Chains A and B, each alone.
Chain A
Amino acid sequence: EIVLTQSPGTLSLSPGERATLSCRASQSVSSSYLAWYQQKPGQPPRLLIYGASSRATGIPDRFSGSGSGTDFTLTISSLDPEDFAVYYCQQYGYSYRWTFGQGTRVEIK
């Protein structure tokens, strides 16, 4: 099973600042089968990024994903007030298992 470790656990930033979230895999993630999700309180997760760097439908271009192998990054170029939420990375389908990281909370400083 691929274990995903996200850092930091919590990120305290102000609106307009840049957010950089990290996701490290215990082994290489094949063909960049790595996704990022956003979850706000009381809501289901929403797909932001798939294939490590492709934005999902309707996702603003301030969200970008990068990385390969075992190290991946989600960047929010300029935080909007609606971006304060929990973010999860996910690897999909390796050995017919899907795993999520433990999440990074982005909170208002």
Chain B
Amino acid sequence: EVQLLESGGGLVQPGGSLRLSCAASGFTFSSYAMTWVRQAPGKGLEWVSSISGGSGTIYYADSVKGRFTISRDNSKNTLYLQMNSLRAQDTAVYYCAKGSAYSGNYCFDYWGQGTLVTVSS
């Protein structure tokens, strides 16, 4: 059974930093792309960043480029999102999702339960 467990969310001040983690199990982690998707309170889904199975290709939404860094450790079956220079608009539930392929065009076939990030003074 595929399981994705996010952690690291919390309350942070504007301009601060936070590192999210996503522990994966139930599949060959290194064989699939992984993604972060966020959802602001009461709003829709917004793609944040994706990374291929071997970390060779990485993509970011314009809204986070230059501030967020996605990475993965295939030896630990863990996905990360380093978030710097956080803004109030970054407040959201952040979901980790498994890609349906190693790279290229893929949808998100399994999702974690999410971790809440609140940016506020």
Contact = CB atoms under 8 A, between A and B. Distances in A.
Given A56-B109, A100-B44, A44 B100 contact: no
B102 interface: no
Contacts of A16: none
Nearest to A56: B109
A31 B109 CA distance: 18
A31 B105 contact: yes
B107 A35 contact: yes
Given A44-B112, A44-B113, A97-B61, A92 B106 contact: yes
A46 B59 contact: no
Interface string B91-121: 0000100001000111111111110000000
A43 to B, nearest CB: 8
B44 A88 contact: yes
A33 interface: yes
A98 B44 CA distance: 14
A44 B95 contact: yes
B107 A50 contact: yes
A33 B57 CA distance: 19
Contact of A50 (B37, B50, B100): B100
Interface in A34-72: 35, 37, 39, 43-47, 50, 56-57
Nearest to A6: B44
A14 B9 CA distance: 38
A45 B61 CA distance: 19
A96 B107 CA distance: 12
A44 B111 contact: yes
B45 A88 contact: yes
A47 B111 CA distance: 9
Nearest to A49: B107
A103 B42 CA distance: 12
A82 B95 CA distance: 23
A47 B109 contact: yes
> What 6 pairs across the A-B complex have the smallest Cβ distances?
A93-B105, A44-B111, A98-B47, A35-B107, A100-B45, A96-B59
